[in-house]
Chains A and B, each alone.
Chain A
Amino acid sequence: MSDTTLTQNTITLFQRKKLVSFAIPVLILAYFTYIFFAFDIGGLADRINVNNARTLISDTYSYKTHVTRDNRSGDLEIAIEGERKGRYAEGTAPDWVSLGDETVVDLGNGHVVTLGETVRYDVPGYGTITADPGSSGANATLPDGDVPDFISASKNRLMVTTDAGRLTITRNRTEIFNYSVGWELFFFTLNSPYYGMGVGEVISRASSGEAGAIWQDFWSNNMWRHGDVAWAIGETILMAFLGTFGAAIIALPLGFLAAKNFTPLGSLRFAARRVFDFLRGVDGLIWTIVLSRALGPGPLTGSLAILLTDTGSFGKMFSEALENVDGKQIEGITSTGANPMQRYRFGVIPQITPVLLSQVLYYLESNTRSATIIGAITGGGIGLLLTQAIITQKDWEEVTYYIVLIVIMVMMMDTLSGWLRRKLIKGDAQ
């Protein structure tokens, strides 16, 4: 090649490079512009639900306690998140509520509400709001002047929303929300004797023989359902475990069928490969739907869906690994007079074990994630709990808790699979 042609070649090459390095960003930009309009991203600002976002964020780190007075009977009820299972027993109250003929609720920062026949709310810097709720309406009296933004008042309803909490008065009931930081009742519910006890005291009681009862109260906490959550995580891991290893067991013999050097019969090989393609192509989603129709929701359905999809993936990978087996080792074994079974056992298996095992263990980790997703669709494991908590649209602290648990679970499976990979594969090599 002469110098001039070389220069010429270089120049054309550079020009093509320039064009490519210009064209690719332009293409990407064009595609994103198309997506912008196709997905209506411009209209996203209108669709975003700011209220939902606010509840979601505040609910993840705080909770509210409802103090409700029935204005006809005069009964008072205090319940965390307004739920039955978080209700204070009659005659008991958190320390910011003083019970009496007139119940005084101290919302902090000088905000004090007095609940009785007449409701009084002292708002610092504004004045005292009074109301006599009855059959004629809320009957609220506000201090003189314009009604500020944080109060919405009508004949039948008064709502005061301040930083300290919220007061709602209607004809039938008066309700106060008090917001507190933290995850309420995470360890013990109100009906447990260990509620509100310090860590030190719980430990000392545990050492004096109450460990079983303490564990029982924690485990059967009906607000956070630790026992059920643990089961759900177990189910999810079980789905991943059964699915992955079940698939590996089934795919190994099928892998031999699909490998060129072990199955000389072309039609058999072709059939095995099409089976793999079919299993993979149908995909976990459709397998899940089909299986859950026959078997109902639960971990078994999830396991089998993972098993079917991964039999396809493993079959393909195993057969590729088998085709790359070194023939010399098998020859060596054959030369010692080994029968076919022994040839496989000592010539092939030791060669492919590390490859297969590392692939299978890698899938174990990724299937833990799939099992969560499949659980959300078919109804099993932690995926089910998560979707249930999201559907209620108010248990965001539980959603956060489950997300944290899922992340920890997947990371632990990742670590475990990495550790096993190193351990088993290095062990084989030694």
Chain B
Amino acid sequence: MVDVTGAAPQSRDIKQVYLEQTRAKRVMNSILLIIFAALMIAGFRTADARNAGGFWDGLPKLLDFPADVVGEAIERAHLLPGYFVEYFPSLIETVNIAAASTLLGAILGLFISLLVTRGLTPVPWLVGPLRRVLDILRAIPEIVVALVLIFLLGGGPVPAMIAIALHTVGALGKLFSEVNENASLKPVEGLQSVGASWGQQMWLGVIPQVAPNYLSYALLRFEINIRASAILGFVGAGGIGYDLRNTMSWGQGKFDEAAAIFLLLFLTIVVVDQLSSSLRNRLTHGASTAEGVV
């Protein structure tokens, strides 16, 4: 009893303090929310003012272009299969740009990721500088490199491939090195004790541990790179994006071809997304069941 009466004022204090804290937090949160809302509204108004056409003027016209495209596509629906066949090679080129650059980027990224992981790298002083290089590679948008390379090499798939591959090295190099950091060093030590070279230590000690994660990240990157490859085509780097720009700039009359390209691109992106996500699921969740079997 004595304890309870003694504790009562104290607990009232605690309640008081707690309520005050909650109130302060709530005030803080609402202030942040108001600032955020104000920023959003002001941002929208600025963007609207600096846009060539205003939002409210353009809104009713938003569906005009899709309607034109769909209209023409339906009108000449019998031509669509022919267009699919015609533009299929460009689609293959776009996919090839993405695949080759992902593969190149992943291979280079793998090497660099091993070099920038403390504990695995044979040249510790290179870790810092190489990481900055990766940061820069990641920060440069693909389009910048692609446009400069188009000036030097002319249009075509190679500038796009190099541009996307460079960005992929930056992105995957970082992700891979994060995976490497979680790899167990015991196999590496074991291999070291029997006199394996650095290459052998990495190939036999580290890669088998991290390969599923690597693959999963590389697949995710492939999804992203397909989109990037289509965009770079649009600025002159070949593939289906280039055809899309040509049919678009032709204007009305070729919108049925644009529709066919839209469809091809849409289907490719959806199919690759689905395939890669189911593969990734198998890689991350399948690993545990596979262990159980073995």
Q: Which residues of A contact B (CB under 8 A)?
A: 13, 28, 31-32, 35, 38-41, 44, 47-49, 52-53, 56, 235, 238-239, 241-242, 245-246, 277, 280-286, 289-291, 293-301, 303, 369-370, 372-373, 376-377, 379-380, 383, 386-387, 390, 393, 399, 403, 406-407, 410-411, 414
Taking residues whose C-beta sits less than 8 angstroms from the other chain, chain B's interface range is: 35 or more
- Distance in angstroms between the alpha carbons of A357 and B74 in the assembled complex: 43
- Distance in angstroms between the alpha carbons of A48 and B55 in the assembled complex: 44
Binds A, one of B9-17, B60-68, B120-128, B190-198: B60-68
Asked if A277 and B270 sit within 8 Å, CB to CB, the answer is yes
Binds A, one of B80-88, B151-159, B179-187: B151-159
In angstroms, how far is the closest chain B Cβ from the Cβ of A255? 17
Chain B's closest residue to A280 (CB) is B273
Asked if B43 and A56 sit within 8 Å, CB to CB, the answer is no
Asked if A407 and B51 sit within 8 Å, CB to CB, the answer is no
List of B residues within 8 angstroms of A399 by Cβ: 148
Asked if A285 and B152 sit within 8 Å, CB to CB, the answer is no
Which of chain B's residues 241-294 have a Cβ closer than 8 Å to chain A? Answer: 241, 244, 248, 262, 265-266, 269-270, 273, 294
User: Which single member of A40, A242, A411 contacts B43 (CB below 8 Å)?
Assistant: A242
Asked if B270 and A281 sit within 8 Å, CB to CB, the answer is yes
- Distance in angstroms between the alpha carbons of A283 and B52 in the assembled complex: 23
List of A residues within 8 angstroms of B59 by Cβ: 294
Q: A28-B103, A406-B141 are in contact. Are A241 and B43 (CB under 8 A)?
A: yes
- Distance in angstroms between the alpha carbons of A390 and B150 in the assembled complex: 10
Chain B's closest residue to A304 (CB) is B55
List of B residues within 8 angstroms of A245 by Cβ: 36, 40
In angstroms, how far is the closest chain A Cβ from the Cβ of B19? 16
| Most chain A beta-carbon neighbours within 10 Å: one of B39, B66, B269 | B269
List of A residues within 8 angstroms of B142 by Cβ: 373
Asked if A39 and B158 sit within 8 Å, CB to CB, the answer is yes
Asked if B58 and A295 sit within 8 Å, CB to CB, the answer is yes
Chain A's closest residue to B62 (CB) is A294
List of A residues within 8 angstroms of B40 by Cβ: 242, 245-246
Asked if B241 and A285 sit within 8 Å, CB to CB, the answer is yes
Asked if B270 and A39 sit within 8 Å, CB to CB, the answer is no
List of A residues within 8 angstroms of B151 by Cβ: 49, 52, 56, 390, 393
29 A-B residue pairs with Cβ-Cβ distance under 8 Å, sorted by A, are A13-B294, A28-B107, A38-B157, A39-B156, A39-B161, A40-B156, A41-B158, A235-B50, A238-B43, A281-B269, A293-B61, A294-B59, A294-B64, A295-B52, A296-B53, A296-B58, A298-B47, A298-B51, A299-B51, A300-B47, A372-B141, A372-B144, A373-B141, A373-B142, A376-B235, A377-B234, A390-B148, A406-B144, A410-B138
- Distance in angstroms between the alpha carbons of A373 and B167 in the assembled complex: 13
| Most chain A beta-carbon neighbours within 10 Å: one of B152, B244, B294 | B152
Q: Which residues of B contact A (CB under 8 A)?
A: 36, 39-40, 43-44, 46-48, 50-55, 58-59, 61-62, 64-66, 93, 96, 99-100, 103, 107, 135-136, 138-144, 147-148, 151-154, 156-158, 161, 227, 230-231, 234-235, 241, 244, 248, 262, 265-266, 269-270, 273, 294
For chain B, what secondary structure do more than half of its interface residues adopt (helix, strand, loop), or is it mixed?
A: helix
In angstroms, how far is the closest chain B Cβ from the Cβ of A419? 15
Given A48-B153, A290-B66, A377-B234, 6 other A-B contacts at CB below 8 A? Answer: A241-B43, A242-B44, A280-B273, A285-B244, A295-B62, A414-B139
Chain B's closest residue to A424 (CB) is B32
Asked if A49 and B140 sit within 8 Å, CB to CB, the answer is no
List of B residues within 8 angstroms of A48 by Cβ: 152-153
Asked if B52 and A297 sit within 8 Å, CB to CB, the answer is yes
User: Which single member of A38, A44, A289, A303 contacts B47 (CB below 8 Å)?
Assistant: A303
- Distance in angstroms between the alpha carbons of A284 and B266 in the assembled complex: 11
- Distance in angstroms between the alpha carbons of A414 and B144 in the assembled complex: 19
List of B residues within 8 angstroms of A376 by Cβ: 143, 147, 235
Asked if B143 and A49 sit within 8 Å, CB to CB, the answer is no
- Distance in angstroms between the alpha carbons of A246 and B43 in the assembled complex: 11
Asked if B152 and A49 sit within 8 Å, CB to CB, the answer is yes
- Distance in angstroms between the alpha carbons of A386 and B36 in the assembled complex: 30
- Distance in angstroms between the alpha carbons of A121 and B103 in the assembled complex: 56
List of A residues within 8 angstroms of B36 by Cβ: 245
Asked if B61 and A294 sit within 8 Å, CB to CB, the answer is yes
| Most chain A beta-carbon neighbours within 10 Å: one of B59, B147, B248 | B147
- Distance in angstroms between the alpha carbons of A48 and B154 in the assembled complex: 7
Q: A44-B158, A242-B40, A399-B148 are in contact. Are A31 and B230 (CB under 8 A)?
A: no
Q: A289-B248, A295-B53, A411-B135 are in contact. Are A283 and B140 (CB under 8 A)?
A: no
- Distance in angstroms between the alpha carbons of A157 and B102 in the assembled complex: 51
